Amino acid sequence: MIIEWTSTDPDYGLSIFTKDYYLHILYSTYRATVAFFLALILGVPLGIMMGWRANFNAYAGALLDFLRPIPPLAWVPIAILILPGDEPAVIFVTFLVAFFATTLNTLLGVRSIDPDFFRAAECLGATDQDILRDIIIPGALPTIFTGLQIAMGAAWFSLVAGEMIAAQYGLGFMILESYNLVQYPTIIIMMATLGIVGYASSALIRVAGKRMIRWREQATGMGQEAET
C-alpha cells in the first residue's frame, strides 16, 4: 500500500503524485466544510435558545428528538428528489449529523452554567443581551467547541456514506469504486487519507477553541483570577 501510495506511476491510478488523488480530497473537504459551517451557524444558536428558554426547548427539543434517531442515509433518497442535484444531497446528509452534535452539545453547555449566575445578573439589571454575551457564551464555550470537534468527526463519517451513494467524486466514492473494481490498495489509501484529513480538521477546531477560550477568559478576567 505504501509503495502504491507514493508511486509516481501507480498501478491503480491514484497516489500522492496524481492529480485525481487531490481532486477527491478537495471534493470531500469542500462538502465536509460546508456542512460543518451550516451546522455551526444553525446549531449553536438553536442549542443556546434550547438551553436558555424552557418554553422554546419544549417545542424544539421534541422535534429534535423525533428527527435525531432517523439514520442519515435514510435521508439520501428524499434529499436527491427534493434538492437540485447530487451535490446538495450529499452536503445535506453530512450536515444533519454535524447539526445534531453541535446543537445538543451547545444545549448541554448552556445547561451546565450555574443558575445563580442568571439570577445574579437579573438582580443587577442585566439585559438579555448582557446575559448572552457575559454569561451564556463564556460559560458554554468549552462545551460548544467539544461539540464542534465531535460534529466534524461525525460529518466525515456521514460524508463517506453519502458519497458512496450519491457522488461521482470524493474519498467515499473512491472507496466504493475501488471495492467494485477489486482495487484493495486504493481502498486502504483512501481510508488512510480520510484519517489524516479528518484528524487535521479536528485539530484546527481544537486549536481555535483553545485560543477562543483563552481570549474569553482574558476578556472577562477569569484568567487573572485563576492565576491569583
| 12, part of any domain | no
> pLDDT digit string (tens) for 120-176?
988 988 898 999 988 998 889 989 999 999 999 889 988 988 888 878 889 999 999
**Range scoring the smallest mean pLDDT among 3-7, 54-58, 141-145, 177-181:** 3-7
**Range scoring the smallest mean pLDDT among 13-22, 184-193, 206-215, 219-228:** 219-228
| 212, part of any domain | yes
How many separate domains does the chain show?
1
DSSP 8-state symbol, 126: -
| 3, part of any domain | no
pLDDT, position 213: 77
Q: Which CATH number goes with the domain that contains 169?
A: 1.10.3720.10
**What span, in angstroms and rounded, lies between the C-alpha atoms of 106 and 178?**
39
For 35, the 3-state DSSP assignment is: helix
DSSP string, 41-97: HHHHHHHHHHHH-HHHHHHHHHHHHHHTTS-GGGGHHHHHHHSSSHHHHHHHHHHHH
| 224, part of any domain | no
pLDDT, position 217: 57
* Percent with pLDDT over 90 in the chain: 49
| 145, part of any domain | yes
| 171, part of any domain | yes
Where does the pLDDT of residue 224 fall: very low under 50, low under 70, confident under 90, or very high at 90 and above? very low
| 8, part of any domain | no
**Rounded to two decimals, what is the model's pTM?**
0.86
pLDDT, position 52: 92
Please give the span between the terminal C-alpha atoms of the chain, in angstroms, as a whole number: 54
Indicate whether 35 pLDDT > 60: yes
> pLDDT digit string (tens) for 170-209?
999 999 999 999 999 999 999 999 999 999 998 999 888 8
pLDDT, position 148: 93
pLDDT, position 95: 94
99, 75 contact by CB (below 8 A): no
The domain of 44 spans 23-219
| 89, part of any domain | yes
Q: What dihedral do alpha carbons 162, 104, 145, 140 form, nearest 10°? A: 170
Where helices occur in the chain by DSSP H, the ranges are: 2-5, 19-52, 54-67, 76-82, 86-111, 115-123, 128-131, 137-166, 171-180, 184-220, 222-227
**What span, in angstroms and rounded, lies between the C-alpha atoms of 220 and 223?**
8
